[in-house]
Structure 1
């Protein structure tokens, strides 16, 4: 397998750069009014304010109303972190995602395994790798017996934002469990349901890497990129992938229906041949496919050939697509993104 750094370098040749002063959804510098009031530094060798990330989280007062930045020095942080709901407005930032690795060897539970659980609103992370180390010694093609539920992050709250982060595991990698979230220029790796949950999220300019896995007899097994859990027509949740890239060394469906009204849309995404021809799986919702919203719009690449796609894939109107792909309408209708610090505007 190519190194993570080389994969990212190749993949982002497909992606579109964003202006440093005007965001892709129309937000401008004047829209951002709050700023960071305090910064602390964490280093695993102890040459900082704190030695562990959890110590820095514990330091933040409950009911915090001001943005606090936690700078992570280069290193591997082997710890299990919980951010309680009363500790809002936290920014965790590294200088380079390949040098700042937050990991933990913990598998088996989709709601609590892994290195970090975010229960607080207004959480931001920049240039950090979140990794479930349970598979750190696996070969590029993973034997079926080694696959287990192993999140790299669990998002349990509304209003989270990620830039330049890596999420690495095999099954249930990114637990986009609940709330509105925005991911930009991120890398997400896994094999089974590795972007899953009931979240309402936009993935902008992200790289999705499908890991290969084999049966006991060595046969390549199909994986699933998404498992989204929208539960009704009134449920506003869904996963939207805008201008992303899908690559890998395995094969996978774009998604399977985790709940009855599952909603996943890929827009202007470049898909390699890792995507299986049928594209999607109704899973436990067979016979009720009319309630599922799985769609691909203006996608490119060998894997985007729709000739053999499932017949029940949705054809969305231009108005529906326009609503879903823009943060202002899909995830920022109340303007929460405008409360992010102005110092982050160039990254949006």
Structure 2
């Protein structure tokens, strides 16, 4: 481990040399220095403070109460990273999601497989690709028999913010398990339950790409097997969780339902989203909760595109009131009622203004 003096010196030199570089979605590195008390750099070739991301995480003191930024140099990081709950207020930033990838070959366990698990509150990721192993197929259609549970990220903590990130896998891609989260300008790819969990999240201006799945064993004579974009796990009417997609785009090579019920009070809303003609007519699936459909909150509001035709939808899709819709699509009321977003570094808070989001 380098001395603190060496680390700070290297960080200063790196930031001085790169302060004019622009990140992939218009964020400059210099704009993200406000409110950050310390910056360290990781590079897979070793030409930085740390060679691995986990080393940088381990360096952060437990009980940290100040924002610390970890800059990821371009490259592929083959790691299995765990951010413990006592390591809060971390900003993990790449220059471009096309240049910085965190990946790991691990599958089978929905709550622990994959490259990164976030247990700490106040986590921010900017311009990073999170990827699990089974995304290297050369064709857009994937054999069902080869698919395994393989999350690209596991979110186990409240108050997380993602900007310009990619999440790539096939099944259980984004494990949005619990807590309040905000995703903006992100790309999410998968086929089966690939945005799932009991999180309370807004997905704003995101692209959702549905991978194609085929199987001779499941579909008689072979053919395309429809997947599921969401599997939200709200368990009772008092829980505040749910997934809200606002101004997103849904496209891809496969067919899918908008969602299926992971728990008995599942809640998912698509608002002003452009939906390609890849959604099965019924739109939603009750899964193991048939007969309890009146408890779900599944809704499509002001969506466009060929896939937004609701003439064949299930009869139990909800028609929400204007008041209910306004509550769900507004960050201040749905995920920021205590004002946690205002405690983010000031350059990030500026991106959350009404004129920036809506």
- Tell which structure's C-alpha radius of gyration is larger: 2
Residue 134 of structure 1: how far off its partner (Å): 2.9
**What is the correspondence of 1:28-107 to structure 2 with a 5 Å cutoff?**
35-107=35-107
Residue 136 of structure 1: how far off its partner (Å): 1.7
Q: Could you state the TM-score of these two structures normalised by the residue count of structure 2?
A: 0.87
**2:292 aligned residue (288, 292, 295):** 288
CA distance in 2, matches of 1:287, 1:174: 28
Extract structure 1 runs of 4+ deviating beyond 6 A: none
Residue 280 of structure 1: how far off its partner (Å): 0.4
**1:338 aligned residue (342, 345, 349):** 342
Is contact 1:155-1:177 (8 Å) kept? yes
CA distance in 2, matches of 1:252, 1:198: 20
> Which of 106-115 and 126-135 deviates more?
126-135
CA distance in 1, matches of 2:73, 2:222: 41
Q: Could you state the TM-score of these two structures normalised by the residue count of structure 1?
A: 0.90
What is residue 13 of structure 1 aligned with on the other side? none
> Which of 135-144 and 34-43 deviates more?
135-144
Calculate the aligned-residue CA RMSD, in Å.
1.7
Q: Give yes or no for the alignment of 1:274 onto 2:274.
A: no
Residue 45 of structure 1: how far off its partner (Å): 0.4
**2:316 aligned residue (309, 312, 318):** 312
What is residue 109 of structure 1 aligned with on the other side? 109
Q: Give yes or no for the alignment of 1:262 onto 2:253.
A: no
The DSSP-based 3-state class of the residue aligned with 1:91 is strand
What is residue 150 of structure 1 aligned with on the other side? 150
Residue 138 of structure 1: how far off its partner (Å): 5.1
Q: Which runs of 5+ in 2 are unaligned?
A: 1-24, 353-358
The DSSP-based 3-state class of the residue aligned with 2:111 is coil
Residue 133 of structure 1: how far off its partner (Å): 1.8
Is contact 1:76-1:101 (8 Å) kept? yes
Residue 139 of structure 1: how far off its partner (Å): 2.5
1:161-200 Cα deviation digits (max 9, x unpaired): 0000000000000000000000000000000000000000
CA distance in 2, matches of 1:235, 1:345: 27
Is contact 1:183-1:204 (8 Å) kept? yes
1:23-64 Cα deviation digits (max 9, x unpaired): xxxxxx9xx9x7111100000000000000000000000000
What is residue 202 of structure 1 aligned with on the other side? 202
Figure out how many residues of one structure are paired with residues of the other and give that number.
320
Q: Which runs of 5+ in 1 are unaligned?
A: 1-17, 21-28
